């Protein structure tokens, strides 16, 4: 993992981004940057009434994550590696799904200004899973505001993510299929994932573990 300073982990809701980021930061002695979704006061309202609260929800996330991205640019003398559980572009993916045409135009105007100051990850890890697997994970963690999330919404979001990363070329990309592994509760699965992440990545690589949960 030479010459890698910033790793970003992405994927749909419920795929395990934060869990893997935390586990990797411990293993690799990395500075951890987590999205602070719980600070968004509009999020519970959005899941109850998406059309009414989508723009406020997206704008809050955009501003909050932009502040975090600026912090990533700062040199940390205690860590040589930064790991985050999101990419700045994730806001645009959600916005494309949740906002109407006028709202998206305004959102893009602001987001494009911010993007110029955002650090591009040296490695992106995209955690992939089918919709049923994601819904199972979301139900298991039992966050109150997520009880309103529908299968159709997660399926649509999953398609947006898959389409985006099918075309992604801005940095090396590692795609990990998580349907058949449990890196949170199974140490062998975690070791397998970490060993694969440690391998050099150029272009796009796919990791499809066959371990059964």
**Cα(195)–Cα(24) distance, integer angstroms:** 11
Question: Rounded to the nearest 5 degrees, what angle is found at the Cα of 205, between the Cα atoms of 83 and 120?
Answer: 40
Residue 201 confidence class, pLDDT cut points 50, 70, 90: confident
Asked if residue 49 lies in contact with residue 63, where contact means CB atoms within 8 angstroms, the answer is no
**Cα(204)–Cα(164) distance, integer angstroms:** 13
Asked if residue 20 lies in contact with residue 129, where contact means CB atoms within 8 angstroms, the answer is no
Residue 103 confidence class, pLDDT cut points 50, 70, 90: very high
Average pLDDT over residues 185-207: 90
Asked if residue 44 lies in contact with residue 157, where contact means CB atoms within 8 angstroms, the answer is no
Asked if residue 160 lies in contact with residue 97, where contact means CB atoms within 8 angstroms, the answer is yes
Mean pLDDT of the chain: 90
In 3D space, the residue among 20, 23, 27 whose CA is nearest the CA of residue 1 turns out to be 27
Q: Which residue has the higher pLDDT, 74 or 113?
A: 113
Pairing state between β 173-177 and 82-84: unpaired
Structure tokens at 207: 């990791």
Domains of the chain are 18-207 (3.40.50.300)
φ, ψ at 177 (rounded to 5°): -80, 120
Q: Give pLDDT, residue 213.
A: 46
Task: Return the minimum-mean-pLDDT range out of 11-20, 163-172, 202-211.
Answer: 202-211
Query: Which tens digit of pLDDT belongs to each residue from 125-156?
Result: 999 999 999 999 999 887 877 888 999 999 99
Average pLDDT over residues 94-112: 95
Task: Return the minimum-mean-pLDDT range out of 65-69, 192-196, 203-207, 208-212.
Answer: 208-212
Structure tokens at 211: 């371990």
Q: Give pLDDT, residue 141.
A: 83
């Amino acid at each position: 993992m030479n010459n890698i300073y910033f790793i970003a982990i992405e994927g749909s809701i419920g795929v395990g981004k934060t869990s893997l980021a935390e586990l990797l930061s411990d293993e690799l002695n990395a500075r951890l940057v987590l999205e602070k979704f719980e600070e968004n006061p509009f999020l519970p309202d959005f899941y109850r009434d998406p059309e009414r609260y989508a723009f406020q929800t997206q704008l809050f996330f955009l501003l909050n994550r932009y502040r975090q991205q600026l912090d990533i640019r700062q040199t940390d003398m205690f860590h040589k590696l930064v790991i985050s559980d999101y990419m700045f572009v994730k806001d645009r993916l959600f916005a494309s799904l949740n906002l109407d045409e006028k709202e998206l135009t305004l959102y893009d105007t602001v987001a494009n200004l911010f993007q110029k100051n955002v650090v591009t990850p040296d490695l992106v890890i995209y955690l992939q899973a089918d919709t049923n697997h994601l819904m199972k994970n979301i139900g298991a963690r039992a966050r109150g505001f997520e009880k309103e999330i529908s299968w159709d919404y997660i399926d649509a979001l999953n398609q947006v993510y898959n389409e985006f990363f099918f075309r992604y070329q801005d940095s090396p990309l590692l795609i990990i299929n998580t349907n058949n592994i449990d890196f949170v509760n199974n140490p062998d699965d975690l070791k397998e994932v970490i060993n694969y992440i440690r391998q050099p990545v150029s272009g796009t690589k796919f990791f499809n573990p066959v371990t059964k949960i």
